[in-house]
Amino acid sequence: MNKGELVDAIASKAEVTKKGADAVLTAVLETIVDAVSSGDKVTLVGFGTFEVRTRKARDGRNPRTGEVLKIPETKVPAFSAGKLFREKVAPVVEEVEEKSTKKKKK
C-alpha cells in the first residue's frame, strides 16, 4: 500500500475527504519525524513506538578489496510494534495441548 492508497482508506474509514485525510496523514508523519529527529520517543498505544537508537561503532570490510574499515557510531530511527499490532499480524495460537496436558496431570 502506498501513501495514496492509505489516504483513500483513511478517507473512507473516517468518512472525510481525501484532501482532509491527506492533510492529517501528512501532519502526523511530519510530527513523528520531527519528534524522533529531536530525540523524543513517540508511543502510540496498541500500535507501536518510534524512537532513535544508536548503532555502536564496528569494523566493516570492503567487499572489493577486503580492507577493514572502521564504521563510526550512528543514530538510526527505529520502530517497535505494539502488542495489539503484533497480535494482529501474527495471532498467538493458544497452546491447547499444553492446557489439556496440565488438566490430565491434576
- Identify the pLDDT of residue 92: 76
Q: What are the residue boundaries of the structural domains of the chain, listed by start?
A: 1-39, 41-90
| Beta-bridge partner residues of 78 | 51
Domain 41-90 has CATH 3.20.20.70: no
- Identify the pLDDT of residue 102: 58
pLDDT tens, residue by residue, 2-46:
999 999 999 999 999 999 999 999 999 999 999 999 999 999 999
Distance, in Å, from the CA atom of 14 to the CA atom of 35, rounded to the nearest integer, reads: 25
Does residue 68 have a pLDDT over 70?
yes
Distance, in Å, from the CA atom of 71 to the CA atom of 62, rounded to the nearest integer, reads: 11
Average pLDDT across the chain, whole number: 90
What are 8's three cell numbers?
483513500
Distance, in Å, from the CA atom of 41 to the CA atom of 84, rounded to the nearest integer, reads: 19
Single-letter residue type at 51: E
Does residue 106 have a pLDDT over 80?
no
Asked whether the beta carbons of 4 and 26 are under 8 A apart, the reply is no
Distance, in Å, from the CA atom of 40 to the CA atom of 62, rounded to the nearest integer, reads: 34
- Identify the pLDDT of residue 99: 55
- Identify the pLDDT of residue 105: 55
* Whole-number Cα distances in Å, 50 to 22, 23, 75: 21, 21, 13
